Amino acid sequence: MQRVGVFDQGVMEPATGRDLTTGRADFIERAQTRGELFIEQPYGLYSEANQQTWRRLYRALAGKWEQHAHPRFLDGVTRLALDPDRIPRLADINRFLEPLSGFRARAVSGYVPAYLFFDCLRRREFPTTITVRDGDRLDYLPEPDIFHDLAGHVPMHTDPAFAAVLVRFGEAARTAALRAQDGDCRRVESALKALARFFWFTIEFGLMRRPDGDGLCAYGSGLLSSAGEIGHALESPRVQRVPFQLDWVVNQSFEIDSLQPLLFVVSGFDHLEREVLRLERWLGDGRLDNVAPGEPAVCREDLQSFLQAGVDG
Ligand SMILES: [Fe+2]
């Protein structure tokens, strides 16, 4: 997924392991070795190269946000007082965020098993990556980083209607987990695919009608944190943009390592909330026990997290 031409050319220092570069941070490796998922943000470890990466990403995205982001996302950027020049401290973000929607960003050391992730949303916590992507590959993102999580996701969390959708999503995952009490792995795998596909085509890559009715805008974090993806999503004639259809979404495979060729459009936050409620009903009544095979693959850890949640009740 090589995308060029949207970033200025920074002079980058090589990552040493002592900073917080994704995939190469000693601090993160040590936390993972100790089995610590929820961690502190060791702010002093961000190197000048990490800060420079944040600045370059912010500069590449800010103009595109003005052009393509949902107005409530732009409000969120202002309300969180996101700094274009410095990586935010989670504590500062939360001081602004919690009074607005009850949500807070919580630092994690890496991958959060699916059920645990969704259950955090139910409790208005957002698992947040604290490392910064490699400055040499700014628009390639095989895994989340702090720019994707804090600049891509969290501004939308300032909006109570959007926050309510995330909580409902966590409730839907809980409904699926309670149905997993009989230990039927195939059925749980199907429910997990449905949840992951819904999340992908809404929270990560969702498009919405503009509130003034004039065209489309982006509310999905995968679009809002990628300079290459956001313009492609809203301008390219190669992208198919279709009205949201739940039965299509839950059966639609997706790829994470190429520009998205198919995106779904909701009419507003109330529409999105109705669809997530419908998702929960469908999960509860068995309608999603046999969704189409294909991506995403369900890993053992994710499956186990749902089965265990079902046992725990
Ligand atoms: Fe994300």
pLDDT at 1: 31
Q: Confirm whether 153 is a catalytic residue.
A: yes
Residue 249 has pLDDT above 70, yes or no: yes
Q: Confirm whether 171 is a catalytic residue.
A: no
Q: Confirm whether 253 is a catalytic residue.
A: no
Residue 126 has pLDDT above 90, yes or no: yes
Measured in Å, residue 143 CA sits from the centre of ligand 1 at 9
Grade residue 139 by pLDDT with cuts at 50, 70 and 90: confident
Q: Confirm whether 70 is a catalytic residue.
A: no
Among 68, 70, 153, 232, the one annotated catalytic? 153
Residues 20, 54: contact at Cβ < 8 Å?
A: no
- What rounded mean pLDDT belongs to the chain? 92
Per mean pLDDT, which range of 18-27, 114-123, 174-183 is the poorest? Answer: 174-183
Measured in Å, residue 221 CA sits from the centre of ligand 1 at 6
pLDDT, mean of residues 59-77: 97
pLDDT at 258: 86
Parallel, antiparallel, or unpaired: how do β-strands 216-218 and 207-209 relate?
antiparallel
Measured in Å, residue 258 CA sits from the centre of ligand 1 at 15
CA dist 87 → 42, 47, 156, 194, 243 (Å): 12, 10, 18, 34, 36
Residue 196 has pLDDT above 80, yes or no: yes
- pTM of structure: 0.92
User: How large a percentage of the chain has pLDDT more than 70?
Assistant: 93
pLDDT at 109: 96
Give the burial class of 153: count Cβ atoms within 10 A of its Cβ; 0-12 exposed, 13-18 middle, 19 or more buried.
buried
Measured in Å, residue 182 CA sits from the centre of ligand 1 at 31
CA dist 254 → 42, 191, 297 (Å): 35, 16, 10
